[in-house]
């Protein structure tokens, strides 16, 4: 299954997105991290999600690009274990051990385009979404143009078993989220982490959490 609702996380705020057919996605509402009524505004977003998707709605969480490394790796011919080849190639490219990272990839001949994120970033995003009632089932991203083909699926959220059952597969969309309403995602531009060639400290996504009631 592919969720029809997404919670778009950025360092400026949180936006609730809804699929609008082949045209793309629309913004149902958003809240700034510095909004004095942050908690109540989040509750309004949750109500909007339930109104759109029903009481059993689920969301995918859009991780901000500032937390993601997009890079191309020359991993050679596929030896039958692409995941292991990519993990080996990631050694030393980030402050994290390869087993502390999640990634998705696309073949580019003998090379692969990868989107890489720290597992602790995903944990923090899930904790925020669950604690605020947004029922997350997957982690995705909106890649910068030319950095990655389609939608990076950075992992199935562990809470997906609670909301969908253990046997329901969560799939990536063929195309990355494209927001068609007037409001745009402030977190979807090319990231400093991508330019620097490494993910930023995963705690950065939760930098406002202490002052904004569990904001990512």
Q: Quick one: pLDDT at residue 77?
A: 83
Global pTM reads 0.84
Q: Quick one: pLDDT at residue 133?
A: 98
User: Domain segments of the chain: what residues?
Assistant: 5-66+119-190, 68-115
How confident is the model over 93-106, as pLDDT tens digits?
Answer: 999 999 999 999 99
Based on C-alpha coordinates, what's the Rg of the chain?
17
**Per-residue model confidence as pLDDT tens for the chain (216 residues):** 999 999 999 999 999 999 998 889 999 999 999 999 999 999 999 999 999 999 999 999 999 999 999 999 999 888 789 999 999 999 999 999 999 999 999 998 879 999 999 999 999 999 999 999 999 999 999 999 999 999 999 999 999 999 999 999 999 999 999 999 744 344 333 333 333 343 444 333 343 443 333 433
Q: Quick one: pLDDT at residue 66?
A: 97
The answer to whether the beta carbons of residues 57 and 5 sit under 8 Å apart is yes
Q: Quick one: pLDDT at residue 6?
A: 99
Angle made by CA atoms 142, 113, 23, in degrees to the nearest 5: 30
Q: Quick one: pLDDT at residue 110?
A: 79
Q: Quick one: pLDDT at residue 190?
A: 32
Q: Quick one: pLDDT at residue 76?
A: 84
How confident is the model over 15-58, as pLDDT tens digits?
Answer: 999 999 888 999 999 999 999 999 999 999 999 999 999 999 99
Structure tokens at 38: 């942050």
CATH no. of 5-66+119-190: 3.30.420
């Amino acid at each position: 299954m592919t969720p029809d609702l997404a919670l778009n996380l950025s360092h400026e705020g949180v936006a609730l997105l809804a699929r609008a057919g082949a045209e793309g996605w629309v913004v149902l509402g958003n809240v700034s991290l510095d909004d004095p009524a942050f908690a109540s505004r989040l509750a309004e977003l949750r109500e909007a999600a339930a109104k759109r998707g029903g009481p059993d709605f689920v969301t995918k969480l859009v991780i901000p690009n500032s937390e993601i490394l997009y890079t191309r790796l020359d991993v050679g011919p596929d030896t039958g274990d692409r995941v292991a080849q990519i993990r080996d190639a990631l050694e030393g490219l980030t402050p994290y051990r390869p087993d502390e990272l999640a990634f998705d990839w696309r073949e580019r001949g003998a090379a692969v385009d990868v989107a890489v994120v720290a597992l602790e970033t995903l944990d923090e995003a899930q904790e925020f979404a669950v604690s605020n009632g947004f029922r997350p089932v997957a982690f995705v991203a909106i890649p910068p143009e030319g950095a990655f083909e389609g939608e990076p699926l950075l992992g199935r959220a562990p809470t997906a078993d609670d909301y969908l059952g253990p046997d329901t597969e969560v799939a990536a969309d063929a195309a990355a989220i494209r927001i068609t309403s007037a409001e745009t995602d402030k977190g979807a531009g090319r990231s400093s982490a991508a330019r620097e060639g490494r993910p930023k400290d995963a705690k950065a996504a939760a930098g406002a959490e202490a002052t904004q009631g569990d904001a990512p």
